[in-house]
Amino acid sequence: MTEDPLQATVLIVDDVPDNVAMLHDALDAAGHTVLVALNGASALRRARQAQPDVVLLDALMPEMDGFEVARLLKADPVTADIPIIFMTGLTDTEHLEAALAAGGVDYVTKPIKPREVMARMGVHIRTARKVRQADEEADEHHRACNALDAFGYATLTVRWPDGRLLWETPLARSLLLRYFGTYAPMTPEPIVTWLSRILPPLSRSTGSTSPPLATEPPRLTLEQGSRRLSFRLHQHVGDEEAPSGPSDWLIVMQESHDASLAEALAQTFGLTAREAEVLYWVTRGKINRDIADILGASPATVKKHLERILPKLGVETRTAAAALALAKVTQLR
């Protein structure tokens, strides 16, 4: 389909071609690509194959009338978004209502006036293309966010300042249910509190409610047992032309847990699984007795593990080991 609304692909459907010969010639002279179907079945095939920008449809045809053709076009996902303009000699309100109810966006009465038809075509083609463009942009955004799900990054969109949760990926939905027991449109209170703390300063620094993120604002991190969920303000996705209105923000979430961090420490420093667990809890500020209780071991065993950990990290003290491991844990998070 062409991008210029004044040059479109038009499907004319009429069982008497001579009735629309003048319209055909006028559309062709104006640079449009004109297709013709002489009956309903042919119209459905051609519409599916060519996917025209607009269908000019005769209301009264034998076998399958225009109302039925319109209903079938709207029922097919391939042709559902194509605007249909009825051409009819019927002027009764009942017939005009039937045309609109069948899926028509407009109608013109016979005898056909080509200039009138082309003017109305332009309006509906522009509208259809804007809707299609918005849908494609939304689909692209959702595909990108769902792709993040596959890599363990959940995403959601929150409208500010009312704090309403507009959209969430499947992974985000499951995480919010597990941590807060909520789902869209309810935004968990900790997230609302976090946004109320970081968004006003951003607005004051830029004079807008939808500033670009030159630097990343502080993240929100919540813990649930050995698991933790972090929230990062990713980007503004609202209307840049209406900075005084509501502002939509895309937030990226990621969950981490102790087991994965301990495994990463083991791989980084060449530790055994139990040594990595001990080192992890050291970075959390636990003393040997606490670590022993967590791991189901004795304090003496924990001490022996530490004695083997220090040379592997190339340090001499517990504090130095904790600092080195903490830097790695922070990087991983």
Same domain, 87 and 169: no
Cα gap 164→262, rounded to integer Å: 37
Residue 46 near residue 37 (C-beta atoms within 8 A): yes
Segment 111-139 mean pLDDT: 79
- Are 231 and 288 contained in the same domain? no
- In this structure, of 68-77, 126-135, 281-290, 294-303, the range with the lowest mean pLDDT score is 126-135
Q: What is the CATH number of the domain that holds 275?
A: 1.10.10.10
Question: Which of 137, 161, 196 is the C-terminal boundary of a domain?
Answer: 137
pLDDT of residue 262: 77
Q: Is residue 106 part of a domain?
A: yes
Q: Among residues 50, 13, 44, 10, which one has the least CA distance to residue 27?
A: 10
pTM of the model as a whole: 0.44
How many other CB atoms sit within 10 Å of the CB of residue 122? 14
Residue 271: CB partners within 8 Å, gap ≥ 6? 265, 279, 309, 312
Residue 143 lies in a domain: no
Percent of the chain with pLDDT over 70: 80
Q: Taking 60 as the threshold, does the pLDDT of residue 242 lie above it?
A: no
Shared domain for 214 and 319, answered yes or no, is no
Contact 8, 32 (CB under 8 A): yes
Residue 172 domain-assigned (yes or no): yes
For residue 312, give its domain range. 270-332
Of 8 and 214, which is predicted with more confidence? 8
Domains identified in the chain, total number: 3
How does DSSP assign 172-198, residue by residue?
Answer: HHHHHHHHHS--TTPPPHHHHHHHHHH
Residues 211 and 99 in one domain: no
Higher pLDDT, 49 or 226: 49
